[in-house]
Amino acid sequence: MDPLPEVRPGVRVPFLDLRVADPGQRQRLLDAIDRVLQHGRLVLGPEVAQFEARVAATVGHRHCVAVNSGTDALYFAMRALDLGPGDEVILPALSWVATANAIALTGATPVFADIGDDLNLDPDAVAGLITSRTRALLPVHYTGRPCDMDRLMALADRYHFAVVEDTAQAFGAAWRGRPVGSFGLLGCFSMNPMKVLNACGEAGAVTTDREDLRARLERLRHSGALGRSPCTEPSLNGRLDTLQAAILLERMDLLPGWLAVRRQRAADYGAHLTEVVRVPAPTPERTEVHYLYPILAEGRDELMAYLAREGIETQIHHPVLMPDQPAYQGLGQNHFPKARTLVKRILCLPIHEKLTLREVEFVADRVRRFYRGGA
């Protein structure tokens, strides 16, 4: 297959393109921003409440508290559990460090568990780590692919600990038709510019069914003081900007179409690559959102370099397991055989709502060439 034209020097297929080129979407966003500029309620304006109502309805939780990032969402969620020194929270070894940081910042101990072939928490590994100090489980729906929530929720019911879902990468995904984020006590979302539902800056949200937790989260996102009421506990300023909420509301209308494209492109990659590399295999229980398209590639670094020479941008999102980060090495947690093997093979191919079938075919053609020795 002939090379595609360059979209910028040296790049034929970008990993992601955050420009808003579509005139229809651009006008909608500009109109939404203009409405906010006209009413002037830039902090917790009406669009924030509207966004919270829509996220809660989409996730299937009664409440949503919009915050300034997915990191804030996780941190406030951990604070709302009243964790402290001596408490343990189990999480996967593979995620962005924000997941572990949220636990550690409360004084509790992150307990890292191995992952399975789906790159998500391995329920058997979790079972082996439960102690009398386990207060919560923090599964990550990694790359937009839901965890096995049947098995994880069964463990939580049996051993009586809370589940808080890190749904940063998975807004819109579902396990057996039920949206992720709605299984746990709290669901923690990121809407940063890279995510499937994305603001034009930092954004996040926490969802819950419990009214007391909603009230607590509203205080936590506002320095521990609601409105002009006294400060009841030290916290940060984690409010979502009205401008970002207004942008997100517009994009929520566009999201179903975007997710349909991502799903189609994932199927297209699968059709072209299944025989060459390990691709994310669809399963009947999972409605995925394909935040990322991770292949498991032998000779991953060579493949990545070859694709770069062909003008194809790929990414290794989290090359270092969280327990191997300098911040967490001191915990001395080392037994992650699966994660250690997989983390050396994961390569994320471009996937987003602007990706065309022709681009997928070009990427797949070059991946096949690499393995057939034509590289």
Residues that bind ligand PLP (CB under 6 A): 69-71, 74, 95-96, 98-99, 140, 166, 168-169, 190, 192, 202, 204
- CB-based contacts of 128, cutoff 8 Å, min separation 6: none
Least distance CB 258 / ligand PLP (angstroms):
18
The residue among 94 and 360 lying less far from ligand PLP, judged by its C-beta, is 94
Which spans in 168-228 are helix H? 211-220
Beta-strand relationship, 286-287 and 174-175: antiparallel
Least distance CB 189 / ligand PLP (angstroms):
8
Sequence-distant contacts of 41-47: CB under 8 A, at least 24 apart:
41/242, 42/241, 42/242, 42/243, 43/239, 43/241, 43/242, 44/239, 44/242, 45/242, 45/245, 46/242, 47/242, 47/245, 47/246, 47/249
Separation between Cα atoms, residue 269 and residue 314, nearest integer Å: 14
Least distance CB 71 / ligand PLP (angstroms):
3
Least distance CB 120 / ligand PLP (angstroms):
11
The residue among 99 and 242 lying less far from ligand PLP, judged by its C-beta, is 99
The residue among 69 and 287 lying less far from ligand PLP, judged by its C-beta, is 69
The residue among 170 and 355 lying less far from ligand PLP, judged by its C-beta, is 170
358's tokens: 């022709």
Tell me which residue of 289, 296, 198, 298 sits closest to 252, measured CA to CA: 198
The residue among 201 and 299 lying less far from ligand PLP, judged by its C-beta, is 201
Q: Which residue is nearest to ligand PLP (CB)?
A: 70
Least distance CB 95 / ligand PLP (angstroms):
5
